[in-house]
Structure 1
């Protein structure tokens, strides 16, 4: 277990450091999608600027995609969190990402083993390299005939795991799925950051031109998976499997479904349909990995008054709702395991604590006993 980082005095980075990590597409951040996406990157990457030596997650690509204004804004809040809770903690969202990084690699390796002896790095392999290396020998241009496992990131947002997870099995196909505005913005941010996308990364229905930008073009961030595709889908509506198959998804291959920070924004019926659709598109033994909120978090968010918190009333369901009435079993999922609070998982795995951004008013500033849990399940 890692030891807690030493307390340090942190100061705002000089403007030239922020400017080096600017996204040309950032503009004035007047667009709500752009603000949300840039903010998600900044929440994971801000401690790289505040405490680079001790950062729990080294997401250099997120740092580049966040842009200087968001990094400054969250840097100021980081200073406030330190003043309120003391130095030496980490970004909650960086900690959550790190826990899920390990779980994704472990699950992908287990699924790959079902299809043969494919080479893969051990689950503890580095997950934060900015470029080079990785479990995939072919990078973004790998042939589909060599694929052994698929990872589908639903509601992917600005997730950068395809460029960060050095322990993915060789032969991993990665599918990023989200609404059109998010996929289009992510594609643009990735290209501006110099990330490898591979040939025809964009799926039908949107998400950029799909032109090749790979290691041969001198990519600053190379893919760690064998193939990468972007898929446009409204996850509150049916049709997911058809949209995935149009992008090259193979329902016969073992698949890991990753739902990070998604389920509690969807209505309960959409959660049920998404669980059933994922199971229907997967062979037995496939895996599900999803984050959920406890009842306390849902109630606190619902209690936020309109006009007091812009983030109040966003959450729709909690883990109890999803587990009620046999929803998972009816959808085709079993062997369900629910973790303790993610903050506790970070302490258990890495020996460090984290700052949860209560000042963002998800809970109206109310301190909670639990923030999120991780649900894991296996396709029956």
Structure 2
């Protein structure tokens, strides 16, 4: 089944391998008992390539620590999704794309929540095979669709999603893999499906992260896999505001996005030519 995944889809196996590695740590920020099975045999190999680029033998690390970043990102999004889901009026959670995410299976959710996972057919098929008899802890639907393709909105509605009701959307590990025009189209289409007051959570790199010389080794890994990073923004608040969202952007290492794990300084946003990652969260205006 892994052979049916294209290069971008295979990055979900890397994320699962990172989560499996985090789960084995004594100081883990979360526990994902499904991650190792979801990563399969390919995920650890992808992770080893990233580790070799990040922690080169014989010289200092100059790249961001992917294991620490992924641990912080997962915990940050875990906490925000649980916070968003708590009010009784928040009845819909949408993961787009879902990848090898197991939050529907490893976390408890309020009874009023309906939980939708959107991703390409090959990803959802691989995931279902690897999960086997596992059952979600929430009313759960999958939507086999490409977010850059046509008509996925209708498929989501057919699965029971109601655009007139409040919803929370997580766009995790998506925007930097698509061209800028596609990033804008995705945000526009998502916004059109969200009632005012709905919530959004996402991650994004800045433009410099795509070009800085010291990022070369990591970018080469992803480009070599056939899934280069294509889009970044230095003004995430303005990017999301353009599509009707009021958001805040936090960087790993800042208060609320650290959890005692980010190993590097966080330069002020006014400092140019610095690689940055943003955790974006806010509401539909």
TM bucket, shorter chain: 0.7 to 0.9
Q: Within 2, Cα distance between the matches of 1:73 and 1:243?
A: 32
Q: Within 2, Cα distance between the matches of 1:73 and 1:346?
A: 29
SS of corresponding position for 1:319: coil
> Is residue 102 of structure 2 the alignment partner of residue 189 of structure 1?
no
Deviation of 1:48 after TM superposition, in Å, equals 3.1
Matches within 5 A, 1:85-100: 91-100=68-77
Q: Within 2, Cα distance between the matches of 1:31 and 1:320?
A: 31
> Is residue 155 of structure 2 the alignment partner of residue 224 of structure 1?
no
Q: Deviations over 1:18-56 (max 9, x none)?
A: xxxxxxx66xx696557533222101211334x3x2222
Q: Within 1, Cα distance between the matches of 2:275 and 2:32?
A: 25
> Is residue 214 of structure 2 the alignment partner of residue 292 of structure 1?
no
Is the contact made by 1:154 and 1:258 (CA closer than 8 Å) also made in structure 2? yes
Aligned partner of 1:373 in structure 2 is 278
Structure 1 unmatched runs, 5+ = 1-24, 116-147, 197-222, 356-367
Aligned partner of 1:272 in structure 2 is 184
Aligned partner of 1:318 in structure 2 is 232
Aligned partner of 1:41 in structure 2 is 16
RMSD between superposed Cα atoms in Å: 3.4
Q: Within 2, Cα distance between the matches of 1:280 and 1:69?
A: 37
Q: May I ask how many residue pairs the two structures share in their alignment? A: 265
1:153 to 85, 90, 95: 95
Deviation of 1:180 after TM superposition, in Å, equals 1.7
Q: Within 1, Cα distance between the matches of 2:235 and 2:48?
A: 36
Is the contact made by 2:197 and 2:283 (CA closer than 8 Å) also made in structure 1? yes
Is the contact made by 2:105 and 2:137 (CA closer than 8 Å) also made in structure 1? yes
Q: Runs in 1 of length 4+ with deviation above 3 angstroms?
A: 29-37, 68-85, 300-305, 320-324, 327-330, 343-348, 368-371
Q: Deviations over 1:278-298 (max 9, x none)?
A: 222221100111111012212
Q: Deviations over 1:165-203 (max 9, x none)?
A: 23x322111111111221221121122xx311xxxxxxx
Distance verdict in 2 for CA 1:374–1:44, change over 3 Å: same
SS of corresponding position for 2:29: coil
Structure 2 unmatched runs, 5+ = 265-272
Q: TM-score, length-normalised on structure 1?
A: 0.60
Deviation of 1:152 after TM superposition, in Å, equals 0.7
1:170 to 111, 135, 153: 111
Q: Within 2, Cα distance between the matches of 1:278 and 1:294?
A: 21
Aligned partner of 1:63 in structure 2 is 36
Q: Within 1, Cα distance between the matches of 2:280 and 2:247?
A: 7
Deviation of 1:370 after TM superposition, in Å, equals 3.7
Distance verdict in 2 for CA 1:230–1:354, change over 3 Å: farther
